[in-house]
Structure 1
Amino acid sequence: MILLRAIGPVTHKLMTMAQWREASEAAGFVAPETLVNTGNMIAGFDGTEAAVVKTMVGVLRSFGLGENVVPVVRKPALLHKLMQADPIAEAAAERPNQTGVYFFASKKPDFEWLKRHDGPETVHVVHDHLIVDFTQDVAQSGKLIRLIDKNCGTNTSRNWNSVRRIADRCAAREKA
Protein backbone atom coordinates (compact mmCIF):
# COMPACT_ATOMS: atom_id res chain seq x y z
CA MET A 1 0.00 0.00 0.00
CA ILE A 2 1.28 3.45 -0.88
CA LEU A 3 0.10 6.63 0.85
CA LEU A 4 1.19 9.93 -0.63
CA ARG A 5 2.10 12.91 1.48
CA ALA A 6 1.26 16.42 0.22
CA ILE A 7 -1.19 15.44 -2.50
CA GLY A 8 -4.34 17.39 -3.22
CA PRO A 9 -6.12 19.78 -5.56
CA VAL A 10 -2.96 21.64 -6.59
CA THR A 11 -1.13 18.44 -7.51
CA HIS A 12 -4.15 17.12 -9.46
CA LYS A 13 -3.30 19.62 -12.15
CA LEU A 14 -0.04 17.74 -12.64
CA MET A 15 -1.19 14.17 -12.00
CA THR A 16 -4.70 12.70 -11.89
CA MET A 17 -5.34 9.46 -10.08
CA ALA A 18 -5.91 7.72 -13.45
CA GLN A 19 -2.53 8.99 -14.67
CA TRP A 20 -0.91 7.83 -11.43
CA ARG A 21 -2.34 4.33 -11.86
CA GLU A 22 -1.23 4.14 -15.51
CA ALA A 23 2.29 5.40 -14.81
CA SER A 24 2.61 3.07 -11.80
CA GLU A 25 1.62 0.07 -13.88
CA ALA A 26 4.12 1.06 -16.58
CA ALA A 27 6.79 1.28 -13.85
CA GLY A 28 6.15 -2.30 -12.72
CA PHE A 29 3.39 -2.02 -10.12
CA VAL A 30 0.84 -4.82 -10.45
CA ALA A 31 -2.89 -4.00 -10.59
CA PRO A 32 -2.58 -0.50 -9.09
CA GLU A 33 -5.81 0.70 -7.56
CA THR A 34 -6.44 4.13 -6.05
CA LEU A 35 -9.14 4.48 -3.44
CA VAL A 36 -10.92 6.38 -0.70
CA ASN A 37 -9.19 9.74 -0.82
CA THR A 38 -6.54 11.18 -3.05
CA GLY A 39 -3.11 9.63 -2.68
CA ASN A 40 -3.96 6.08 -1.59
CA MET A 41 -2.87 3.15 -3.75
CA ILE A 42 -2.92 -0.59 -3.34
CA ALA A 43 -0.63 -2.39 -5.77
CA GLY A 44 1.65 -5.35 -6.00
CA PHE A 45 5.36 -4.93 -6.65
CA ASP A 46 8.15 -7.45 -7.02
CA GLY A 47 10.92 -5.98 -4.90
CA THR A 48 11.92 -4.61 -1.54
CA GLU A 49 10.21 -1.76 0.23
CA ALA A 50 13.19 0.44 -0.68
CA ALA A 51 12.68 -0.48 -4.34
CA VAL A 52 8.98 0.36 -4.07
CA VAL A 53 9.81 3.79 -2.66
CA LYS A 54 12.53 4.47 -5.24
CA THR A 55 10.33 3.40 -8.15
CA MET A 56 7.34 5.37 -6.87
CA VAL A 57 9.47 8.49 -6.35
CA GLY A 58 10.46 8.17 -10.02
CA VAL A 59 6.81 7.95 -11.03
CA LEU A 60 5.89 11.01 -8.97
CA ARG A 61 8.79 13.11 -10.23
CA SER A 62 7.93 12.21 -13.83
CA PHE A 63 4.78 14.29 -13.34
CA GLY A 64 6.77 17.24 -12.03
CA LEU A 65 5.65 16.75 -8.44
CA GLY A 66 8.04 18.26 -5.90
CA GLU A 67 10.08 16.54 -3.23
CA ASN A 68 7.37 17.31 -0.67
CA VAL A 69 5.18 14.64 -2.35
CA VAL A 70 6.53 11.54 -0.63
CA PRO A 71 5.34 7.92 -0.85
CA VAL A 72 4.93 6.18 2.49
CA VAL A 73 4.78 2.41 1.97
CA ARG A 74 3.12 -0.10 4.26
CA LYS A 75 2.16 -3.76 3.96
CA PRO A 76 -1.58 -4.44 4.17
CA ALA A 77 -1.03 -6.69 7.20
CA LEU A 78 0.05 -3.64 9.19
CA LEU A 79 -3.26 -1.89 8.49
CA HIS A 80 -5.06 -4.93 9.84
CA LYS A 81 -2.94 -4.77 13.00
CA LEU A 82 -3.74 -1.08 13.48
CA MET A 83 -7.45 -1.75 13.04
CA GLN A 84 -7.33 -4.67 15.48
CA ALA A 85 -5.45 -2.63 18.10
CA ASP A 86 -8.17 0.04 17.97
CA PRO A 87 -6.97 2.04 21.00
CA ILE A 88 -9.61 4.67 20.32
CA ALA A 89 -12.67 2.45 19.96
CA GLU A 90 -15.12 4.98 21.36
CA ALA A 91 -13.72 7.87 19.32
CA ALA A 92 -13.52 5.73 16.17
CA ALA A 93 -17.18 4.84 16.56
CA GLU A 94 -18.47 8.27 17.56
CA ARG A 95 -16.22 10.65 15.57
CA PRO A 96 -14.08 8.70 13.09
CA ASN A 97 -13.32 11.82 11.06
CA GLN A 98 -11.76 13.37 14.17
CA THR A 99 -9.42 10.47 14.71
CA GLY A 100 -6.22 10.09 12.76
CA VAL A 101 -3.55 7.57 11.99
CA TYR A 102 -0.08 8.98 11.27
CA PHE A 103 2.21 7.03 8.97
CA PHE A 104 5.90 8.01 9.04
CA ALA A 105 8.57 7.79 6.35
CA SER A 106 11.05 6.87 9.08
CA LYS A 107 10.73 3.34 10.43
CA LYS A 108 11.45 4.39 14.01
CA PRO A 109 10.17 7.91 14.70
CA ASP A 110 11.07 9.54 18.00
CA PHE A 111 8.05 9.51 20.31
CA GLU A 112 9.89 10.65 23.45
CA TRP A 113 8.28 14.10 23.18
CA LEU A 114 4.85 12.56 23.79
CA LYS A 115 5.67 12.33 27.50
CA ARG A 116 5.35 16.12 27.57
CA HIS A 117 2.18 16.37 25.47
CA ASP A 118 -0.54 18.03 27.52
CA GLY A 119 -3.15 18.85 24.90
CA PRO A 120 -6.75 17.78 24.84
CA GLU A 121 -5.94 15.12 22.25
CA THR A 122 -5.34 11.52 23.24
CA VAL A 123 -2.35 9.97 21.47
CA HIS A 124 -1.46 6.28 21.24
CA VAL A 125 1.63 4.67 19.72
CA VAL A 126 0.76 1.44 17.92
CA HIS A 127 3.36 -0.39 15.81
CA ASP A 128 5.40 2.86 15.44
CA HIS A 129 2.37 4.81 14.23
CA LEU A 130 0.45 7.50 16.06
CA ILE A 131 -3.26 7.08 16.49
CA VAL A 132 -4.78 10.34 17.63
CA ASP A 133 -8.21 11.07 19.06
CA PHE A 134 -8.36 14.77 18.33
CA THR A 135 -11.47 15.08 20.59
CA GLN A 136 -12.47 18.10 18.51
CA ASP A 137 -12.23 19.49 15.01
CA VAL A 138 -8.78 18.52 13.72
CA ALA A 139 -8.19 22.13 12.66
CA GLN A 140 -8.16 23.07 16.36
CA SER A 141 -5.11 20.85 16.97
CA GLY A 142 -2.49 22.81 15.06
CA LYS A 143 -0.06 22.70 17.99
CA LEU A 144 -0.10 18.90 18.12
CA ILE A 145 0.17 18.57 14.34
CA ARG A 146 3.22 20.87 14.32
CA LEU A 147 4.79 18.82 17.14
CA ILE A 148 4.24 15.60 15.20
CA ASP A 149 5.87 17.12 12.10
CA LYS A 150 8.77 18.60 14.08
CA ASN A 151 9.54 15.56 16.20
CA CYS A 152 8.64 12.61 14.00
CA GLY A 153 9.65 13.78 10.55
CA THR A 154 7.98 13.25 7.21
CA ASN A 155 4.53 11.81 7.63
CA THR A 156 1.09 11.52 6.18
CA SER A 157 -2.14 10.90 8.02
CA ARG A 158 -5.54 9.48 7.26
CA ASN A 159 -8.70 9.58 9.32
CA TRP A 160 -9.96 6.39 10.93
CA ASN A 161 -12.72 5.87 8.33
CA SER A 162 -10.22 6.07 5.48
CA VAL A 163 -7.78 3.65 7.11
CA ARG A 164 -10.60 1.20 7.81
CA ARG A 165 -11.84 1.38 4.22
CA ILE A 166 -8.32 0.92 2.83
CA ALA A 167 -7.73 -2.04 5.16
CA ASP A 168 -11.04 -3.58 4.07
CA ARG A 169 -10.13 -3.19 0.40
CA CYS A 170 -6.69 -4.72 1.00
CA ALA A 171 -8.38 -7.71 2.65
CA ALA A 172 -10.77 -8.08 -0.28
CA ARG A 173 -7.87 -8.03 -2.74
CA GLU A 174 -6.03 -10.67 -0.74
CA LYS A 175 -9.07 -12.97 -0.90
CA ALA A 176 -9.51 -12.51 -4.67
Structure 2
Amino acid sequence: MQTYVALLYSIILGGGRRVVMSDLKAMAESLGLKNVRTLVATGNLVFEARTTKISVLEQRLESAFEETFGRHVDIIVRGAEAWLKLAAGNPFPGESADAGDQVAVRVMRKSAPADAVEALQAYAAKDEKVLLVDGDIWVAFSRERPSSRLLSASNHKRMGVGTSRNWNTVRRLAEMVGSRQ
Protein backbone atom coordinates (compact mmCIF):
# COMPACT_ATOMS: atom_id res chain seq x y z
CA MET A 1 0.00 0.00 0.00
CA GLN A 2 1.12 3.53 -0.80
CA THR A 3 -0.03 6.80 0.73
CA TYR A 4 -1.34 9.49 -1.63
CA VAL A 5 -2.52 13.10 -1.44
CA ALA A 6 -5.42 14.23 -3.63
CA LEU A 7 -6.28 17.90 -4.14
CA LEU A 8 -9.60 18.99 -5.60
CA TYR A 9 -9.58 22.07 -7.79
CA SER A 10 -12.95 23.20 -6.45
CA ILE A 11 -15.49 21.96 -3.96
CA ILE A 12 -18.24 24.37 -4.98
CA LEU A 13 -21.08 22.55 -6.71
CA GLY A 14 -23.05 25.64 -7.73
CA GLY A 15 -26.06 27.30 -6.23
CA GLY A 16 -24.18 27.94 -3.01
CA ARG A 17 -23.67 24.21 -2.42
CA ARG A 18 -20.28 22.92 -1.27
CA VAL A 19 -18.97 19.39 -1.00
CA VAL A 20 -19.19 18.11 2.55
CA MET A 21 -15.92 16.42 3.52
CA SER A 22 -17.68 13.39 5.04
CA ASP A 23 -19.37 12.82 1.66
CA LEU A 24 -16.03 13.18 -0.13
CA LYS A 25 -14.47 10.68 2.25
CA ALA A 26 -17.34 8.23 1.67
CA MET A 27 -16.90 8.62 -2.11
CA ALA A 28 -13.18 7.78 -1.84
CA GLU A 29 -13.90 4.79 0.38
CA SER A 30 -16.44 3.52 -2.16
CA LEU A 31 -13.51 3.24 -4.61
CA GLY A 32 -11.74 0.90 -2.21
CA LEU A 33 -9.29 3.52 -0.97
CA LYS A 34 -8.12 2.88 2.59
CA ASN A 35 -7.48 5.04 5.65
CA VAL A 36 -9.13 8.02 3.91
CA ARG A 37 -8.72 11.30 5.76
CA THR A 38 -9.58 14.89 4.90
CA LEU A 39 -7.84 18.09 5.90
CA VAL A 40 -9.93 21.23 6.38
CA ALA A 41 -13.02 21.77 4.29
CA THR A 42 -11.22 22.69 1.07
CA GLY A 43 -10.94 19.39 -0.78
CA ASN A 44 -7.79 17.71 0.51
CA LEU A 45 -7.66 13.93 0.80
CA VAL A 46 -4.99 11.61 2.15
CA PHE A 47 -5.51 7.92 1.52
CA GLU A 48 -3.82 4.59 0.95
CA ALA A 49 -4.13 2.45 -2.15
CA ARG A 50 -2.21 -0.17 -4.02
CA THR A 51 0.66 1.37 -5.91
CA THR A 52 -0.70 2.50 -9.27
CA LYS A 53 -0.19 5.20 -11.87
CA ILE A 54 -1.09 8.67 -10.66
CA SER A 55 -3.11 9.32 -13.82
CA VAL A 56 -5.25 6.24 -13.11
CA LEU A 57 -6.01 7.46 -9.58
CA GLU A 58 -6.84 10.94 -10.86
CA GLN A 59 -9.20 9.53 -13.48
CA ARG A 60 -10.92 7.20 -10.97
CA LEU A 61 -11.39 10.01 -8.45
CA GLU A 62 -12.64 12.49 -11.07
CA SER A 63 -15.13 9.98 -12.49
CA ALA A 64 -16.41 9.08 -9.02
CA PHE A 65 -16.67 12.75 -8.09
CA GLU A 66 -18.72 13.55 -11.19
CA GLU A 67 -20.97 10.54 -10.61
CA THR A 68 -21.43 11.34 -6.91
CA PHE A 69 -21.73 15.13 -7.02
CA GLY A 70 -22.92 15.77 -10.60
CA ARG A 71 -20.03 17.99 -11.63
CA HIS A 72 -16.55 17.44 -13.08
CA VAL A 73 -13.69 18.68 -10.89
CA ASP A 74 -10.00 18.35 -11.68
CA ILE A 75 -8.22 16.33 -9.01
CA ILE A 76 -4.44 16.37 -8.68
CA VAL A 77 -2.83 13.33 -6.99
CA ARG A 78 0.69 12.99 -5.63
CA GLY A 79 2.35 10.06 -3.92
CA ALA A 80 3.61 10.56 -0.36
CA GLU A 81 7.26 10.82 -1.41
CA ALA A 82 6.45 13.38 -4.08
CA TRP A 83 4.39 15.38 -1.58
CA LEU A 84 7.17 15.37 0.99
CA LYS A 85 9.61 16.48 -1.73
CA LEU A 86 7.24 19.30 -2.72
CA ALA A 87 7.00 20.49 0.89
CA ALA A 88 10.77 20.23 1.41
CA GLY A 89 11.30 22.25 -1.77
CA ASN A 90 9.49 25.35 -0.46
CA PRO A 91 11.65 28.18 -1.83
CA PHE A 92 10.21 30.70 0.65
CA PRO A 93 10.96 29.29 4.13
CA GLY A 94 11.31 32.71 5.77
CA GLU A 95 8.07 34.03 4.36
CA SER A 96 6.34 30.74 5.26
CA ALA A 97 7.47 31.00 8.88
CA ASP A 98 6.23 34.60 9.10
CA ALA A 99 2.89 34.12 7.31
CA GLY A 100 2.10 30.62 6.07
CA ASP A 101 -1.16 31.79 4.53
CA GLN A 102 0.73 34.23 2.29
CA VAL A 103 2.84 31.53 0.60
CA ALA A 104 1.19 29.14 -1.83
CA VAL A 105 2.05 26.54 -4.40
CA ARG A 106 0.08 25.78 -7.53
CA VAL A 107 0.40 22.00 -7.70
CA MET A 108 0.39 21.09 -11.37
CA ARG A 109 -0.85 17.95 -13.09
CA LYS A 110 1.90 18.38 -15.68
CA SER A 111 4.88 20.67 -15.21
CA ALA A 112 4.07 24.33 -15.71
CA PRO A 113 5.39 25.84 -18.92
CA ALA A 114 9.04 26.92 -18.76
CA ASP A 115 8.02 30.54 -19.26
CA ALA A 116 5.39 30.46 -16.49
CA VAL A 117 7.38 32.50 -13.99
CA GLU A 118 8.23 35.16 -16.54
CA ALA A 119 4.58 35.38 -17.61
CA LEU A 120 3.39 35.71 -14.01
CA GLN A 121 5.98 38.35 -13.11
CA ALA A 122 3.98 40.85 -15.16
CA TYR A 123 1.10 40.44 -12.66
CA ALA A 124 3.19 40.43 -9.47
CA ALA A 125 3.31 43.37 -7.09
CA LYS A 126 6.77 44.67 -6.19
CA ASP A 127 6.81 42.70 -2.94
CA GLU A 128 5.53 39.43 -4.46
CA LYS A 129 7.76 36.57 -5.59
CA VAL A 130 7.14 33.76 -8.07
CA LEU A 131 9.35 30.69 -8.58
CA LEU A 132 9.06 27.43 -10.50
CA VAL A 133 10.23 24.41 -8.50
CA ASP A 134 10.05 20.93 -10.05
CA GLY A 135 7.21 22.01 -12.34
CA ASP A 136 5.05 23.59 -9.62
CA ILE A 137 4.55 27.34 -9.18
CA TRP A 138 5.39 28.83 -5.77
CA VAL A 139 4.21 32.33 -4.85
CA ALA A 140 4.96 34.56 -1.87
CA PHE A 141 2.08 37.00 -1.85
CA SER A 142 2.18 40.60 -0.69
CA ARG A 143 1.45 41.20 2.98
CA GLU A 144 0.54 44.79 2.13
CA ARG A 145 -2.17 44.16 -0.48
CA PRO A 146 -5.49 42.47 0.29
CA SER A 147 -5.66 40.76 -3.11
CA SER A 148 -3.22 39.78 -5.81
CA ARG A 149 -3.49 39.74 -9.58
CA LEU A 150 -1.37 36.56 -9.53
CA LEU A 151 -4.34 34.40 -8.54
CA SER A 152 -6.35 35.08 -11.67
CA ALA A 153 -3.22 35.07 -13.84
CA SER A 154 -2.23 31.55 -12.80
CA ASN A 155 -5.34 29.91 -14.24
CA HIS A 156 -5.78 26.65 -16.16
CA LYS A 157 -5.76 28.37 -19.54
CA ARG A 158 -2.38 30.02 -18.96
CA MET A 159 -0.59 27.48 -16.77
CA GLY A 160 -2.34 24.14 -17.30
CA VAL A 161 -4.35 22.02 -14.88
CA GLY A 162 -3.38 22.63 -11.29
CA THR A 163 -4.69 23.81 -7.95
CA SER A 164 -3.26 26.06 -5.27
CA ARG A 165 -2.71 25.40 -1.58
CA ASN A 166 -1.20 27.71 0.99
CA TRP A 167 1.87 26.72 3.00
CA ASN A 168 -0.15 25.91 6.12
CA THR A 169 -2.12 23.28 4.18
CA VAL A 170 0.98 21.94 2.37
CA ARG A 171 2.79 21.53 5.70
CA ARG A 172 -0.16 19.85 7.42
CA LEU A 173 -0.62 17.42 4.51
CA ALA A 174 3.11 16.63 4.68
CA GLU A 175 2.73 15.88 8.38
CA MET A 176 -0.21 13.58 7.62
CA VAL A 177 1.64 11.58 4.96
CA GLY A 178 4.92 11.65 6.87
CA SER A 179 3.30 9.92 9.81
CA ARG A 180 2.22 7.05 7.51
CA GLN A 181 5.65 6.41 5.94
TM-score using structure 1 length: 0.86
> Does residue 43 of structure 1 match 2:47?
yes
Q: How many residues align?
A: 171
Does the 8 Å CA contact 1:3/1:39 hold for their aligned counterparts? yes
1:112 partnered with 2:128 = no
1:21-170 residue pairs with structure 2 within 5 A?
21-46=25-50, 47-67=52-72, 69-105=73-109, 107-116=110-119, 117-118=121-122, 119-120=124-125, 121-136=128-143, 139-142=146-149, 144-149=150-155, 150-170=157-177
| Residue segments in structure 2 that go unaligned for 5+ positions in a row | none
- C-alpha distance in structure 1 between counterparts of 2:145 and 2:81, whole Å: 27
**Cα RMSD between the aligned structures?**
2.2
Provide TM-score, normalisation by structure 2.
0.83
Residues 8 and 38 of structure 1 are in contact (CA less than 8 Å); yes or no, is this contact kept in structure 2? no
The residue identity in structure 1 corresponding to 2:23 is: Q
- The secondary structure found in structure 2 opposite 1:140 is coil
Q: CA contact under 8 A between 1:11 and 1:65: conserved in structure 2?
A: no
C-alpha distance in structure 1 between counterparts of 2:15 and 2:86, whole Å: 29
Change (3 A) 1:45 1:157: same
When structure 1 is superposed on structure 2, of 73-82 and 163-172 the one drifting more is 73-82
- Identical aligned residues as a percent: 25
Query: For residues 11 and 52 of structure 1, what CA distance do their matches in structure 2 show?
Result: 28
- Measure how far apart 1:70 and its partner are: 1.2
Q: Whole-Å Cα distance in 1 between the matches of residues 144 and 6 of structure 2?
A: 26
Q: Following TM superposition, by how much is the alpha carbon of 1:64 offset from its aligned partner in structure 2, in angstroms? A: 2.9
Structure 1 position 115, deviation (Å): 2.3
Q: Deviations over 1:124-147 (max 9, x none)?
A: 1111111110123675212x2222
Whichever residue aligns with residue 60 of structure 1, its letter is F
Quote the Cα distance in structure 1 between the aligned partners of 2:15 and 2:42: 10
SS at match of 1:100: strand
Distance 1:76 1:11 in 2: 35
The residue type equivalent to 2:161 in the other structure is T
Instruction: Provide the secondary structure at the position in 1 that maps to 2:179.
Output: helix
